[in-house]
Structure 1
């Protein structure tokens, strides 16, 4: 097996990071630097309330952001008003604030004063670099390459004159944003996150009318792909997998295969088979699931950042061109509301991009065009 590569694709307002090995995606992150997930950050916090029913305390972070400190992670015995330096162990997600811990926090950090950020945690590229110390880090942005070289050393970081993601990687990231994943043999895996749990459904598709062997092959492929998609999408909490057909016994016989597929993911645990014959799993929550980052359906901001990425590549190919983005008003409002996105584009191009509101275009139908002669 070849050594993996860490690919860092940087575009205005966004950073996408992939762990790529042997032609397959092993890990994926989509980060908006202006909206960090905060995992690994260390904050000076203030305890605001004890909640015996939850076995922990609520704390206040910088900007009046609330978080939760379990008793088992250092909250036992602390009282309201106490100031504590704490590390974020789970990002805010699913409408709940971040979870924190006193474990692993350096002893010399401040313990008085207003709540504030004390230290940023590593981003995805640095986390992957630490987990795979032999993997080269490949960036397509001079500023990002310089940042990574300062942290990892110059020899390890390669700067490409072309996009870090080729067509194969781009296709994998497009698939992660979709609600269905094709399976070998003509089937598909449907991914349906809800506030309470994530439901995965196997549809045999073209294999439905064929022999039972083809049917079993689709289910077998679904087990491996389900475990992979759960990991890549950062799905967490309760997860139910509904295979296509089969008796309760035949499904139970497939549990060992699911456990083998889930083995590489230390956060994922296969619980067993429910009374309805659904495969039950649970995964520890750490990073925001991709459907919350990207939106489901895709948010106006996700559409806008994808358009800026296309525009940045067009500007690189035609440096003298002054470009405009024609898009739905919600897309443009989302871009204007994300600090740094439009400034990032202007910093990397000869001309800032002109924004043209067009309510006739649905989000995702954005058009990159040359600026009108009268545009500023």
Structure 2
């Protein structure tokens, strides 16, 4: 089966899955009301230079800022200098956007004179996947989505009642879980931390294998690692990643080097395998560009969008007045920021969402309001 790009619409969010006969090949979330900024072109203004960090903070539009390393700057910058920059890494983990100023040119009719301004948006996650999979048709389940995409993609679009089938729904839902089922009965548990992502692999059927223990454990890890490393891509885990393989003696682990390298070579971000540490942990460095999936699902926008999706599904087809929502402070702010998501929920459900702030609720919690 040739690859297909499936775009399933929900309030304020489009889930994008690339599938073929082998299953789920790529995955991304697109939130039109919360663009991550990757690829955006800005007219910025140089702020403070931090010699110790080897770069300069650049003031961007809407009062935000980003960091421009000296290696990506057009030359020495004095505070207040205008500079054309592009965002190459989204803000994440409490750090601002990463910028570059190399290889850029001003759009026609624009000037560097003036305050910090957003000059052009970068590609959306759907556009990025359409570029990565140029021959794949794009299946959508919401006609309004076509208006949000470049005209050049429209010939590839096909309208379906449901973009995701049951198998794709299940595979995408599993990406939200920290535990992964791997070939051979093995499992892996993912634990993100501020400094790194730790992954622990647990043995499965290798324990009942009639071969010697180390031979069986090596084969089990070798067969399971490609699936695990593909999950890293699907979940967009990034930065420092350490993997504790299952049950294999430390001295035997370097023999897995070729398996890991071959699997990582299929990742378009080209992660680097740094080898095994003295503790036997496989060390991988994967570029940070867009926020990882677990962060998108856990932040206030993600919780708000899950709430609207759940509410919409519950009230669709319900006669009369639908129950409203009582929300915590962070969810209330997210709702105010994203009126498009609220409009989507109304269009999809046939009911206008109504909400009110409930100070008694924790910031990211909500409940139905039947009052």
Matched, 1:284 2:270: no
Say if 1:114 and 1:360 are closer, same or farther in 2 by CA, change over 3 A. closer
User: Counterparts in 2 of 1:11-90, with a 5 A limit?
Assistant: 11-90=10-89
Measured in 1, the distance between the counterparts of 2:193 and 2:130 equals 32
2:221 & 2:29 partners in 1: Cα distance? 29
Matches within 5 A, 1:95-174: 95-108=94-107, 109-148=110-149, 150-160=150-160, 162-174=161-173
Q: Tell me if the contact between 1:86 and 1:101 (Cα under 8 Å) persists in the aligned partners.
A: yes
Contact 1:202 1:222 survives alignment (8 Å): no
SS of corresponding position for 2:184:
coil
Higher mean C-alpha deviation, range 252-261 or range 222-231: 222-231
Alpha-carbon contact 1:197-1:238 (below 8 Å) kept: yes
TM-score normalised by the chain length of structure 1: 0.86
Secondary structure of residue in 2 paired with 1:347? helix
* Distance (Å, rounded) in 1 between the aligned partners of 2:154 and 2:106: 32
Distance (Å, rounded) in 1 between the aligned partners of 2:113 and 2:285: 38
Aligned equivalent of 1:9: 8
Which secondary structure does the structure 1 equivalent of 2:295 belong to?
A: helix
Q: C-alpha distance in 2, partners of 1:168/1:357? A: 38
Gaps of 5+ in 1: none
The equivalent residue for 2:231 is 229
User: What corresponds to 1:258 in structure 2?
Assistant: 260
Gaps of 5+ in 2: none
Superposition CA RMSD, Å: 2.9
- Is the CA contact (8 Å cut-off) linking 2:304 and 2:334 kept in structure 1? yes
Q: Provide the aligned length of Structure 1 versus Structure 2.
A: 363
Tell me: CA distance 1:355–1:227, structure 2 relative to 1, closer, same or farther (3 Å): same
TM-score (structure 2 length as normaliser): 0.87
On the 8 A contact 1:300/1:331 being kept in 2, the answer is yes
Deviation >6 Å, runs of 4+:
356-361, 363-367
- Between the aligned partners of 1:104 and 1:20, the Cα distance in structure 2 is 34
In the TM superposition, residue 15 of structure 1 has moved relative to its aligned partner by: 1.6
Identify if the C-alpha distance between structure 1 residues 154 and 32 changes in structure 2 by more than 3 Å, giving closer, same or farther.
Answer: closer
User: Mean alpha-carbon deviation: is it higher for 19-28 or for 78-87?
Assistant: 19-28
Match of 2:323? 324
Shift of 1:234: 1.5
Alpha-carbon distance in structure 1 between the residues aligned to 2:76 and 2:331: 49
Aligned to 1:144, the other structure's residue is in SS state helix
Change (3 A) 1:193 1:320: same
- DSSP 3-state at the match of 2:221: helix
What SS does structure 2 have at the residue aligned with 1:254? helix
**Residues of 2 paired with 1:177 and 1:188: CA distance?**
15
